[in-house]
Amino acid sequence: MKKAAILAGAVALVAAIVVPALAASTTGKSHGTVLTASLTPTKSGTLKRPKSTVIHTVFTTPAPASGQQPYATKETIVHLPKGLVLNGAKFKQCSEATLNSSGPNGCPPGSKVGSGSASAQANIGGPEQLTVTAFNARKGKVQQLLLYVQGTSPLAINSTLVGTVKKDSGKFGYKLDVVIPPSLQQPLTGVYPTLTKFDVTVGAKKNGIGFLETVACLKHTRNWRADLTFTDGTSDSSSTTSKCS
């Protein structure tokens, strides 16, 4: 059971990593990674009047073809556009320890900030369909996004994935960074799980305040990018833009 949970964690963790991009999409360099998403509403708020927003992201990577070297993700960094504000400090928080011991039911009401689904394929066994639930978390002053991943077949999976929010530069305001431990990249000897699809929506509102809010629209464009590195030594980068007003 423990090995099953670890296997799933590796598979889904790639997902946790990938939290937005928008209308257009590009294909990655090595494995054909594609990142798409939508931001609702597209009309931006202002510094004086922030507007709550919801991000819907879909991330796909083809499973290795027959005879191809299997691979899993080592690290994924999702770059978020400027003009977004994260209000995690104003929301209830859950913890990785709570999720690991009690699951989503152990988290305080109001700490859930998103949900979605994922699909994974290892180089042995059939595909795994997963549900994803996102929770607000902080470690000291560091903002985190916890994604609790559950699956039942072919493996029983209950795993917590941790994403860390950091300041970004250039075209981007924040980035979500997930580094996958070696034990999750290859949970069993010779077994490498590939996340083939990750579909998640992040956004919540409480007392008129959004977990995510827009305060600016720069040149009517939002820039997004996801950078991934894999266990086979390759890397993918998928970029996109979305319009705003």
**How is residue 231 written in tokens?**
């266990």
Token pair for 80: 């978020």
* Whole-number pLDDT of residue 1: 45
| Mean pLDDT, contiguous 10-residue spans, the chain (245 residues) | 45 36 41 85 96 89 84 84 95 95 96 93 80 94 91 78 92 86 71 84 95 95 88 88 90
pLDDT value of position 168 = 95
Provide CB contacts within 8 A for 46, sequence distance 6+.
Answer: 215, 216
For the chain, helix, strand, coil in percent to 5 are 15, 50, 40
- State the pLDDT at residue 163: 92
Rounded Cα distance, 16 and 204, in Å: 17
- Give Cβ neighbours of residue 96 (< 8 Å, ≥ 6 apart): 137, 146, 160, 162
pTM: 0.82
Residue 180, CB half-sphere, CA atoms under 13 Å: how many?
Answer: 35
Spatial separation of the C-alpha atoms in residues 190 and 218, rounded to whole Å: 47
Q: Which of 216, 177, 176 is nearest to 47 (CA)?
A: 216
